[in-house]
Amino acid sequence: MSLANCRVVLVKPHFAGNLGSVARAMRNFGLTDLVLVAPYTFPDNPEARRLATHGEGILDTTRIVPDIGDAVADCVLTLATSALTAGVVRRGMIGTPAELMPRLAEAAGQGPVAIVFGPEPHGLSNEEIGRCHGMVHIPVDPEYPALNLAQAATVCLYEYRRAWSARVNAGRDEPAPGPLVAPHADQERMFEHLREGLRAVGFLFGERQDTLMHAMRHLVGRAMPTPAEVRMLHGLARQLLWVAGRRGDAGEPNG
């Protein structure tokens, strides 16, 4: 299990100082893989480089992608971060960094994993959080729950480093081979296919279809499905579509 398997994803970062400070925190805790999604500030910004302090090499190798799906396409487990916990989309697998980082460190033995942070003005949207497998919430004073982006990243990376160190010290740096986990991109295609099939037979309909599909995503995502299991769910989706076409269903429940 390598620290290099843990990726930091910043979605639409606005401020160069935060970008540099995140790179510095990554350098502190031994992580190197930084990806920016549609950023407003860039790694060559002088302020970012000034605050990186020995993390300039991380900025030099930072990748820039247009969409969160591109940032985590090969990941086996992804965790969003948010100060807000209200609403159906922000439920599911939710916990503190101390609770969830051990799970992320364990998954890193199977392939790349990612911690996803949102833009400074408003954080991650419900849609962006819904595309991750779970959500990290840092417990702070409810009177002022919003942490600075770089502060939030430092807390999460510290807990990840602790979880990684615990596994190494327990003699599990080379975990026993387990079943391969399907990459995030393959899971996304399966979920869209499954959504189509479930809608066709009337399971997903009306205003609650997004809520039901979100619950389905978390149910399957927590299981960390293998490529074979993803293919099986594709088969289920194809069968649902076939049944709906044979019956002439319109995608709404009968009666």
The structure's pTM equals 0.77
Is-same-fold flag (3-169; 184-247)? no
pLDDT at 213: 84
pLDDT at 225: 86
CATH of the domain spanning 184-247: 1.10.8
Q: Which amino acid is at 27?
A: R
CATH fold label, 3-169: Alpha/beta knot (3.40.1280)
pLDDT at 25: 98
Mean pLDDT of the region 146-172: 90
- Work out the percent of the chain whose per-residue pLDDT is above 90: 51
Q: Does the structure show a pLDDT above 80 at 181?
A: yes
Mean pLDDT of the region 97-117: 94
pLDDT at 251: 54
pLDDT at 58: 98
The string of pLDDT tens digits covering residues 202-217 is: 888 888 788 788 788 8
- Work out the percent of the chain whose per-residue pLDDT is above 70: 89
pLDDT at 93: 66
Strand 63-65 relative to strand 77-81: parallel, antiparallel, unpaired?
Answer: unpaired
Give start and end residues of each alpha helix (H) in the chain. 16-29, 46-52, 56-60, 68-72, 97-107, 126-130, 149-169, 184-200, 209-222, 227-247
| Structure tokens, 254 | 């009968």
Q: Does the structure show a pLDDT above 50 at 255?
A: no
pLDDT at 172: 55
Mean pLDDT of the region 27-43: 97
pLDDT at 207: 80
Q: Of 19-28, 137-146, 235-244, where does the model show the most confidence?
A: 19-28
Q: Which of 174, 166, 169, 154 is nearest to 109 (CA)?
A: 174
The domain spans of the chain are 3-169, 184-247
Contact 85, 114 (CB under 8 A): no
Contacting residues for 165 by C-beta, under 8 A, at least 6 apart: none
Chain mean pLDDT for the chain? 87
The residue ranking higher by pLDDT, 185 or 60, is: 60
pLDDT at 91: 57
| Structure tokens, 71 | 């940032």
The answer to which of 13-27, 75-89, 130-144 has the lowest mean pLDDT is 75-89
Split at pLDDT 50, 70, 90, the class of 195 is confident
What's the CA gap between 227 and 188, in Å, rounded?
12
Q: Does the structure show a pLDDT above 80 at 171?
A: no
